[in-house]
Structure 1
Amino acid sequence: MNEKSYTELMKLGAMKRNRMKENFIQDLYIEMLLSEIQLTVEKEKLQRKIDLAIDRRDKKSFLHLSSELKEINKRFGL
């Protein structure tokens, strides 16, 4: 039969745990990267809208959009 020794089983278990840790860290990194990209895109869109409101001298839209941008910056600690 192809039975594994206790030592082999312990090594396999340790390797599996290490792989799971590495996968968790990699998934966390990917999630953080995607959040950063999403934040950057959202901020860029708001900046363009704010610039347009300034060009059109639309104070109401400017104030509203600026408030949104402040909230985003506040939410992400910027």
Structure 2
Amino acid sequence: MNDKSYSELMKIGAMKRTRLKENFVQDLYIEMLLSEIQLNVEKEKLLSRIDKAIDSRDKKTFQLLSIELMEINKRFGT
């Protein structure tokens, strides 16, 4: 049988809700961190390709990659 008082049960419930909130915030931070890492990796690769297009004087590729870079910046809000 359950020997816990009403106040003890309420405290336990409050602690569980607090833990759930903390887990949600932690998951949100992790998701944000992973998104930022993904953005940085994509941008670095794209910037490297843009540099190569500039070095080879490939205007068409440069323009296409520049548009792609703008789209990545929009997607990640930068």
TM range (shorter): over 0.9
User: What's the Cα RMSD here?
Assistant: 1.1
Q: Secondary structure at the match of 1:12?
A: helix
1:75 deviates by: 2.1
1:63 deviates by: 0.7
Identity %: 77
Letter of the aligned partner of 1:19 in structure 2? R
| TM superposition score normalised by structure 1 | 0.93
Hey, what does 1:13 align to over in structure 2?
Answer: 13
| TM superposition score normalised by structure 2 | 0.93
Q: Larger RCO: Structure 1 or Structure 2 (Cα < 8 Å, ≥ 6 residues apart)?
A: 2
1:2 deviates by: 5.2
Hey, what does 1:44 align to over in structure 2?
Answer: 44
Q: Which runs of 5+ in 2 are unaligned?
A: none
Alignment size in residue pairs = 78
1:72 deviates by: 1.0
Q: Which runs of 5+ in 1 are unaligned?
A: none
| Alpha-carbon distance in structure 1 between the residues aligned to 2:31 and 2:77 | 17
